[in-house]
């Protein structure tokens, strides 16, 4: 489906990013995996290569403009260009990303630098390369947090709302260049990191609150990203797709206090 295309996946060492990189590679894309944890990213790339795919790992701090430029330069040097960008990388800190009165300002700055500024800088690097190729596609990973009023994680929610607005800007400004831009807003996705510290009764409650009576998986998100990169999505531009099993339409807010909070 994506044969001979080149995809840059940020935050590709774990969770949704890792599975997305694997799905894109199986669909025929050459994948560049950028992650702060370069050794972990290399393990993912090696696994893809072992399955017969093509993948390159690049250690990249998404808060560092020079590192981002180097990542895209490596993509061009290795594979000749870039067709797709999946900005999946994100950070937060549940202990310090609190409410408006208590959020740690260093945490605020770091979250905005990685999640939001990182999306801007990746797009600035990718768009000229896509124009050279005659077009391309950008997918940013947002969150249900972008459109609700969480009681905590104010920095994270603001960064994700900003990502959606950036994506609409990309779509409007560069649709004429053949570049489509869309956001995917996951609900609660059962990654290893997301499940850490969440007791089994709460996991069951989260699943029971979902109209589909299950938690989302990284594969659910990765499949949508691959679709948005494909020609089957050729007329989808500037949209936010909520991939959450219907959580938001059911009126279930993810903004409740965490366990013990």
Helix axes 218-229, 15-26, angle to 10 degrees: 50
Summary mean pLDDT of the chain: 92
- pLDDT beyond 70 at 253: no
pLDDT bucket at 257, cuts 50 / 70 / 90: very low
Q: How far is CA 217 from the centre of its chain?
A: 14
Active-site residue, selected from the candidate residues 14, 72, 79, 156? 156
- pLDDT beyond 90 at 250: no
Judged by average pLDDT, the poorest of 70-79, 167-176, 198-207, 221-230 is 198-207
Alpha carbon separation from 106 to 63, 102, 113, 154 (Å, rounded): 13, 12, 10, 13
CB 96 within 8 A of CB 58: no
Residue 1 vs residue 68, higher pLDDT = 68
pLDDT, mean of residues 219-248: 96
CB 245 within 8 A of CB 156: no
Q: What is the pLDDT of residue 224?
A: 98
Judged by average pLDDT, the poorest of 6-20, 135-149, 183-197 is 183-197
pLDDT, mean of residues 198-220: 88
Q: Which two tokens stand for residue 260?
A: 């013990």
Judged by average pLDDT, the poorest of 67-81, 83-97, 141-155, 197-211 is 197-211
Alpha carbon separation from 58 to 21, 35, 237 (Å, rounded): 13, 7, 29
Alpha carbon separation from 242 to 10, 64, 104, 201, 229 (Å, rounded): 20, 29, 29, 25, 16
Q: What is the pLDDT of residue 200?
A: 84
Q: What is the pLDDT of residue 73?
A: 98
Return d(Cα 10, Cα 12) in angstroms, integer.
Answer: 5
Helix axes 15-26, 38-50, angle to 10 degrees: 30
Residue 79 among the catalytic residues: no
- Confirm whether pTM is higher than 0.85: yes
pLDDT, mean of residues 126-140: 98
- pLDDT beyond 80 at 254: no
- pLDDT beyond 60 at 129: yes
What topology is assigned to 6-243 in CATH? Rossmann fold (3.40.50)
Return d(Cα 80, Cα 61) in angstroms, integer.
Answer: 23
pLDDT, mean of residues 135-164: 94
Return d(Cα 209, Cα 84) in angstroms, integer.
Answer: 35
């Amino acid at each position: 489906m994506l044969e001979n295309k080149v995809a840059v996946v940020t935050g590709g060492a774990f969770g949704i990013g890792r599975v997305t990189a694997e799905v894109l590679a199986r669909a025929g894309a050459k994948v560049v995996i950028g992650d702060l944890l370069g050794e972990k990213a290399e393990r993912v790339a090696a696994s893809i290569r072992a399955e017969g795919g093509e993948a390159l790992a690049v250690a990249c701090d998404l808060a560092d403009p020079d590192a981002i430029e180097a990542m895209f330069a490596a993509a061009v040097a290795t594979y000749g260009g870039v067709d797709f960008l999946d900005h999946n990388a994100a950070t937060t800190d549940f202990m310090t990303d609190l409410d408006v009165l208590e959020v740690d300002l260093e945490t605020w700055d770091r979250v905005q630098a990685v999640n939001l500024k990182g999306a801007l800088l990746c797009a600035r690097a990718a768009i000229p390369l896509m124009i050279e190729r005659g077009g391309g596609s950008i997918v940013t990973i947002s969150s249900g947090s972008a459109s609700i009023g969480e009681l905590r994680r104010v920095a994270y929610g603001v960064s994700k709302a900003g990502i959606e607005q950036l994506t609409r800007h990309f779509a409007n400004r560069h649709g004429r260049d053949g570049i489509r831009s869309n956001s995917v807003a996951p609900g609660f996705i059962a990654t290893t990191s997301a499940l850490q510290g969440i007791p089994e009764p709460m996991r069951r409650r989260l699943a029971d609150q979902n109209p589909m009576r299950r938690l989302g998986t990284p594969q659910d998100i990765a499949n949508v990203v691959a679709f948005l990169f494909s020609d089957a999505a050729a007329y989808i531009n500037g949209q936010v797709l909520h991939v959450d099993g219907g959580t938001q339409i059911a009126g279930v807010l993810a903004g409740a206090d965490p366990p013990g909070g």
